[in-house]
């Protein structure tokens, strides 16, 4: 089998000392060729996980204005995962929360303005994690999830790169790149970017036969609700398997803290079905 990911670009990794960790959260900074500089990552390392190998990874993408720490220190994603692990509803997984590359108010996780924010996630981040943690390797299953702009990133990268990601989950997602204008003054997409790169449905069409399992949800009071409903209708029209749910709530951390559990349980379900195909 051909290797899934290119290697060799990460030349330096700085990591926080585990003895000073807070609730299992470790911080990494490493050089990213795609960014042309350093990238920051927060990682939740469940107790005892580092004695194992090929541990699954969940990449959590943040929204505009935030950075790598937001999923843990605004959303408490590690606390949600810890409770599920303690109840054996979810196996231990590495939770990986990278910055988006720190362009303006948000990069939207694709290549533009002289930096490849997409490959920072799909290539450099995963390579760096394999080098930094003995418990993950090229055989580790990788899932991707995100909220708002990060939901868009999870949908787009997950559907574009089914060779990397085994499952996709999005909360309150931007579903058309033009919706970025509701959050940032920067032009999206930049004029140099081909529309086919940013259009989610173009990746649905290109990879329709090999798309990973997909779920997404949105709050009924969310400003992005109509876009999510439209995206659901388009998937149904194309007969693309997916799960879409609506819940009471708005575009805020209270909603995302409550519903990130759905992402973790969805990914656990995928792993269990792979282990028991019958």
Query: pLDDT by residue (tens digit) across 22-35?
Result: 889 999 999 999 99
Give the span between the Cα atoms of 81 and 173, in whole angstroms: 21
The CATH number of whichever domain residue 225 belongs to comes to: 3.40.50.1820
Question: What confidence tier does 278 reach under pLDDT thresholds 50, 70, 90?
Answer: low
Q: 63 in a domain, yes or no?
A: yes
pLDDT surpasses 90 at 185: no
In a domain, 4, yes or no: no
Mean pLDDT (the chain) is 94
Pair 211, 166: CB distance under 8 Å: no
Q: Which residue has the higher pLDDT, 56 or 276?
A: 56
| 246, part of any domain | yes
| Rounded-to-integer distance, Cα 120 and Cα 30, Å | 11
Does 278 map to a domain?
no
At 105, give phi and psi (nearest 5°): -85, -15
Task: Give the pLDDT band (50/70/90) at residue 187.
Answer: confident
Please give the residue range of the domain that contains residue 36: 13-273
Residue 2 belongs to a domain: no
Residue range 197-214: average pLDDT? 97
Q: Does the residue 20 lie in any domain?
A: yes
Q: What is the DSSP string of 55-119?
A: --EEEEE--TT--TTHHHHTT-HHHHHHHHHHTTSS---EEEEE-----TT--TTSEETTEEHHH
CA distance 240 to 21: 42
The alpha-carbon radius of gyration of the chain (Å, integer) is: 17
Q: How far is CA 271 from the centre of its chain?
A: 17
pLDDT(64) > 80? yes
Total-model pTM: 0.95
Evaluate whether residue 178 is within a structural domain.
yes
Domains identified in the chain, total number: 1
Strand order of the sheet with strand 13-15? 13-15, 25-32, 37-44, 94-98, 57-61, 142-147, 165-171, 214-219, 243-247
The predicted model gives 227-248 an average pLDDT of: 98
Contacts of 173 (CB under 8 A, 6+ apart): 146, 147, 148, 151, 152, 154, 155, 216, 218, 224, 227, 228, 231
In this prediction, residue 191 has a pLDDT band, given cuts at 50, 70 and 90, of confident
**What pLDDT is attached to residue 10?**
79
Of the pLDDT bands very low, low, confident and very high (cuts 50, 70, 90), residue 218 is very high
Distances, alpha carbon 210 to alpha carbons 1, 156, 198, 216, in Å:
17, 14, 19, 18
| pLDDT reported for residue 190 | 76
pLDDT at 5 over 80: no
Confidence at residue 2, expressed as pLDDT on a 0 to 100 scale:
29
Q: What pLDDT is recorded for position 6?
A: 40
Please give the pLDDT value at position 277.
75
Question: For residue 20, with 0-12 CB atoms within 10 Å meaning exposed, 13-18 middle and 19 or more buried, which class applies?
Answer: exposed
Tell me if 7 is assigned to some domain: no
114-172 pLDDT tens trace: 999 999 999 999 999 999 999 999 999 999 999 999 999 999 999 999 999 999 999 99
């Amino acid at each position: 089998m051909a290797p899934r990911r290119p290697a060799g670009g990460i030349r330096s990794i700085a990591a926080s000392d585990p003895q000073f960790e807070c609730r299992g959260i470790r911080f990494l900074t490493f050089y990213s060729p795609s960014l042309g500089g350093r990238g920051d990552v927060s990682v939740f390392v469940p107790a005892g996980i580092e004695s194992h190998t090929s541990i699954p990874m969940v990449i959590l993408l943040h929204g505009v204005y935030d950075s790598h720490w937001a999923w843990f220190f605004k959303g408490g994603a590690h606390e949600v995962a810890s409770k599920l692990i303690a109840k054996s509803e979810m196996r231990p997984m590495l939770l990986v929360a990278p910055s988006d590359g720190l362009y303006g108010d948000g990069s939207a996780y694709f290549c533009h303005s002289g930096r490849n924010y997409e490959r920072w996630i799909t290539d450099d981040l995963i390579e760096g994690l394999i080098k930094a943690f003995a418990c993950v390797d090229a055989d580790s299953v990788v899932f991707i999830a995100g909220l708002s702009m990060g939901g868009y990133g999870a949908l787009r990268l997950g559907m574009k790169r089914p060779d990397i990601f085994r499952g996709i989950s999005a909360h309150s997602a931007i579903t058309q790149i033009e919706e970025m204008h509701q959050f940032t003054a920067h032009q999206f997409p930049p004029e140099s970017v081909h529309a086919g790169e940013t259009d989610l449905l173009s990746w649905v069409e290109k990879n329709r036969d090999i798309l990973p399992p997909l779920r997404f949800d949105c709050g009924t009071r969310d400003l992005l609700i109509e876009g999510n409903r439209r995206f659901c209708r388009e998937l149904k029209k194309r007969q693309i398997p997916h799960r879409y749910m609506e819940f009471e709530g708005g575009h805020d951390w209270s909603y995302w803290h409550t519903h990130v559990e759905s992402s973790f349980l969805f990914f656990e379900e995928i792993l269990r079905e792979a282990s028991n195909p019958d």
